[in-house]
């Protein structure tokens, strides 16, 4: 059955076509918003995957370069590895969808969102998010939706619903909010120090729009939605739980898990696991799910103690942060380094500075090639959690955490004019027990300041957790969650910012949405914790950026020339600029608007290159003094090169105050001389005098 549905969304038409394409998928929606077109499909395996204790959901956001009328870059001219934007978009779509599947569902599910056309007024990421919900909602999969997503931008203090790509790039806020039912289920934001009150206003403006989209999707489901199919439950039998409690009473489980040492807790659980494995040796079916059963037993124990007794596993108060410490300059010779420790979470960040020419070039559907001046990369080796696993490069989690920290720090970075460097921060996870992404923000801030990057303000990050009861008003928000509280809790609410406002948010939850009181409480807790970290830990360690970059960092100075003079500096086929580089050993970058960056290790050589460029772009006037080298001798005079590619002539009569018969009597090739400009001769050449220098 082919059906078309439309609604007006933020001043543009959202169009959904069902039954036209992708008919063999469990659910398929052909989506259009303006001219942006995305094909969204949802497909599931017929049977659950054996031997796993998680829901195997995969979200693939595919960027096709034909959508903007371009060839892909690279040798093969074919789309290859997913871009960073694709990975981040897939993660944003995954986070609100995953909690809406049954916890005992183990069938493989793949959501594929293929971008086929891009209208700059309608961002394809948003359309893929909505289309994923439509495809799942009309399918026979056990999806408890629909959910909807809205993006909010802000320009000059005005909130904009579903902004264009230009508004998204230039605005002070990039906010994505997902909702299900009457609750918010996902928040992702980058912001230019937005106050908490304004952020909450923006979140619930998006939520109001989401409710309209949800009603629109419900109408589609009512007409063309498939009946939900039965699935094989992988739930742990209640009989196993009952038998476990006979062997390991709840009080013993509480003693096992309530400790501030992760290794001690894991050892306690390992002993309990061994006892239960031995006790159930004759129950092969129970042994197959014993690991999941112990996990759930541990989870119920932790949640009960937190929610009912306000007792946390490590004995902290509900709003108490774990022990904190900060250190800078721990790695020699690098341009900047810092380490931030929170409990058993420890991040070392190393900052590297480079010329602007080192900026990363990124293919994208917004403008095909973007340049990234600031890179934040995050690594999570297996030893940080006491495991052994070969590194295969950054996965989606590492890319996501790096992007979150990058987003948090971009608003406080100096402009290229203020600080003409490319900047790379790498956060190495030394130890992990909860919220390493926020620790990397703190470490990166200090590393940048130690490297001499003139940040406008320091940024800190913290994460809050949540445990809920049977009703909406039965909940408790935990400040600074450790790994156990993250695993067994309902939320990981990360907020980064300065003293004055929020720069980034990322919220993951495992339940069917949050009420407004929970969102407001979490944001308030994060603000209090952020202020504490900035004031009591980070600022005492390094209060402000260093005035100069490290002696090991390249030195970069900038100058402005007229765009009309760029050709003179570059010279024919690059001859002039290459000569300057060869003489001084510096690196020179020139932008189309005449901004010149000179990079080197020796300040004198940098100044020498700058002086050469100044001479080249100078409009020559009578009386100017230059130093140069004799490069050619003629019967009538000598030619003096006073800058790469720039020569002037000293007539034989202007060489000496005394009469000379031959130029060679006074000058030889290669001589260094000082001359004064006399203007231009009849042939348009620059004319010099040596004998009149003293008079100037």
Fold of the 3-150+201-224 domain: Ribosomal Protein S5; domain 2 (3.30.230)
Nearest to 118 by CA among 46, 61, 68: 68
pLDDT digits (tens, 9 = 90+) for 649-670: 898 888 888 888 888 888 899 8
User: What is the reported pLDDT for 31?
Assistant: 98
| Average pLDDT of span 321-326 | 96
Span 555-617 CATH architecture: 2-Layer Sandwich (3.30)
| Average pLDDT of span 492-521 | 95
User: What is the reported pLDDT for 490?
Assistant: 92
Q: Using 50, 70 and 90 to split pLDDT, how confident is the model at 75?
A: confident
- In the chain, what are the domain boundaries? 3-150+201-224, 238-309, 324-467+476-482+515-541, 555-617, 625-695
User: What is the reported pLDDT for 72?
Assistant: 86
Question: By percentage, how much of the chain surpasses pLDDT 90?
Answer: 62
Query: 646 or 536: which carries more pLDDT confidence?
Result: 536
Most confident of 201-205, 601-605, 645-649: 201-205
Q: Using 50, 70 and 90 to split pLDDT, how confident is the model at 368?
A: low
| Torsion, Cα of 303, 309, 313, 314 (10° steps) | 150
Fold of the 324-467+476-482+515-541 domain: Ribosomal Protein S5; domain 2 (3.30.230)
Contact assessment for residue 217 and residue 9, using Cβ atoms and an 8 Å cutoff: no
Fold of the 238-309 domain: Arc Repressor Mutant, subunit A (1.10.10)
Residue 367: is its pLDDT beyond 70?
no
Nearest to 228 by CA among 55, 96, 107, 56: 107
**DSSP, residue by residue, 659-688:** --S-GGGT--TT-EEEEEEEEE-TTS-EEE
What six digits make up the tokens of 346? 């420890």
| Average pLDDT of span 263-278 | 90
Report the alpha-carbon distance of residue 489 to residue 479 in Å, rounded: 12
Contact assessment for residue 43 and residue 110, using Cβ atoms and an 8 Å cutoff: yes
Q: Which CATH superfamily is domain 625-695 in?
A: Nucleic acid-binding proteins (2.40.50.140)
User: What is the reported pLDDT for 111?
Assistant: 98
Q: How many CB atoms lie within 10 A of CB 561?
A: 18
Helix, strand, or coil (residue 593): coil
Report the alpha-carbon distance of residue 95 to residue 56 in Å, rounded: 13
User: What is the reported pLDDT for 653?
Assistant: 87
628-642 residues labelled b (16+ CB within 10 A) or e (exposed): bebeebeeebbbbbb
Provide the 8-state DSSP code for 546.
Answer: -
Pick left, alpha or beta for residue 632 (phi over 0 → left; psi -120 to 50 → alpha; otherwise beta): beta
Q: Are 238-309 and 625-695 in the same CATH fold?
A: no
User: What is the reported pLDDT for 574?
Assistant: 87
Report the alpha-carbon distance of residue 638 to residue 169 in Å, rounded: 57
Q: Using 50, 70 and 90 to split pLDDT, how confident is the model at 113?
A: very high
């Amino acid at each position: 059955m082919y059906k078309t549905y439309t609604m007006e969304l933020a001043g543009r038409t959202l169009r959904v076509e069902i039954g036209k394409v992708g008919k063999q998928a469990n659910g398929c929606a052909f989506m259009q918003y303006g001219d942006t077109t995305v094909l969204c499909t949802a497909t599931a395996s017929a049977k659950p995957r054996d031997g796993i204790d998680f829901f195997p959901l995969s979200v693939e956001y595919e960027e096709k370069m034909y959508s903007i009328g371009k060839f892909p870059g690279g040798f093969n001219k074919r789309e290859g590895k997913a871009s960073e934007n694709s990975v981040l978009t897939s993660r944003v779509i995954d986070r609100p969808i995953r909690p809406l599947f049954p916890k005992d569902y183990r069938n493989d599910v793949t959501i594929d969102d293929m971008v086929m056309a891009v209208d700059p007024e309608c961002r394809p990421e948003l359309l893929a998010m909505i289309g994923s919900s439509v495809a799942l909602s009309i399918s026979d999969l056990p999806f408890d939706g629909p959910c909807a997503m809205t993006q909010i931008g802000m320009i000059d203090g005005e909130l904009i619903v579903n902004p264009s790509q230009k508004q998204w790039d230039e605005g002070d806020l990039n906010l994505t909010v997902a909702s299900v039912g009457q609750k918010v289920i996902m928040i992702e934001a980058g912001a230019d120090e937005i106050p908490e009150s304004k952020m909450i206003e923006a979140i619930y403006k998006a939520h109001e729009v989401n409710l309209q989209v949800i009603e629109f999707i419900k109408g589609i489901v009512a007409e063309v939605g498939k009946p939900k199919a039965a699935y094989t439950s992988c739930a742990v039998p209640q009989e196993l739980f009952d038998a476990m409690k006979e062997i390991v009473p709840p009080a013993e489980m509480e003693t096992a898990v309530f400790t501030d040492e992760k290794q001690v807790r894991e050892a306690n659980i390992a002993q309990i696991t061994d006892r239960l494995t031995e006790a159930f040796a004759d129950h092969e079916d129970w042994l197959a799910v014993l690991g999941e059963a112990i996990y759930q037993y541990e989870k119920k124990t932790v949640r009960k103690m937190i929610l009912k007794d306000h007792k946390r596993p490590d004995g902290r108060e509900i709003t108490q942060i774990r022990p904190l410490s900060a250190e800078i300059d721990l790695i020699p010779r690098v341009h900047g380094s810092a380490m931030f420790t929170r409990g058993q979470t420890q991040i070392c960040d190393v900052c590297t500075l480079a010329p602007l020419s080192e900026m990363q070039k990124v293919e994208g559907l917004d403008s095909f090639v973007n340049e990234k001046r600031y890179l934040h990369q995050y690594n999570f080796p297996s030893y940080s959690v006491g495991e052994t696993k070969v590194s295969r490069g950054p996965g989606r989690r590492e890319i996501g955490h790096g992007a979150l920290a990058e987003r948090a720090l971009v608003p406080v970075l100096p402009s290229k004019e203020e600080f003409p460097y490319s900047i790379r921060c790498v956060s190495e996870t030394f130890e992990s027990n909860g919220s390493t992404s926020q620790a990397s923000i703190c470490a990166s801030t200090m590393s940048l300041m130690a490297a001499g990057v003139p940040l406008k303000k320091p940024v800190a990050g913290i994460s809050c957790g949540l445990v809920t009861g049977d009703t909406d008003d039965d909940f408790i928000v935990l400040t600074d969650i450790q790994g156990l509280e993250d695993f067994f809790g309902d939320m990981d609410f990360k907020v980064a910012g300065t003293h004055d406002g929020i720069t980034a948010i990322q919220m993951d939850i495992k339940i069917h949405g949050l009420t407004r009181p929970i969102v407001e409480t979490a944001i308030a807790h994060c603000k209090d914790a952020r202020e504490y970290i900035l004031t009591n830990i980070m600022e005492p360690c390094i209060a402000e950026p260093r005035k100069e970059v490290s002696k090991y960092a390249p030195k970069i100075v900038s100058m402005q020339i007229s765009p009309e003079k760029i050709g003179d500096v570059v010279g024919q086929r690059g001859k002039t600029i290459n000569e300057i580089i060869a003489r001084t050993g510096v690196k020179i970058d020139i932008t189309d608007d005449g901004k010149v960056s000179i990079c080197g290790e020796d300040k004198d050589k940098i100044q020498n290159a700058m002086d050469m460029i100044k001479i080249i772009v100078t409009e020559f006037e009578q009386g100017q003094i230059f130093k140069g080298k004799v490069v050619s001798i003629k019967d009538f005079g000598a030619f003096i090169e006073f800058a790469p590619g720039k020569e002037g002539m000293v007539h034989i009569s202007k060489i000496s105050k005394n009469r000379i018969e031959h130029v060679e009597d006074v000058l030889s090739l290669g001589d260094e001389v000082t001359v004064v400009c006399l203007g231009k001769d009849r042939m348009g050449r620059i004319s010099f005098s040596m004998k009149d220098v003293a008079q100037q």
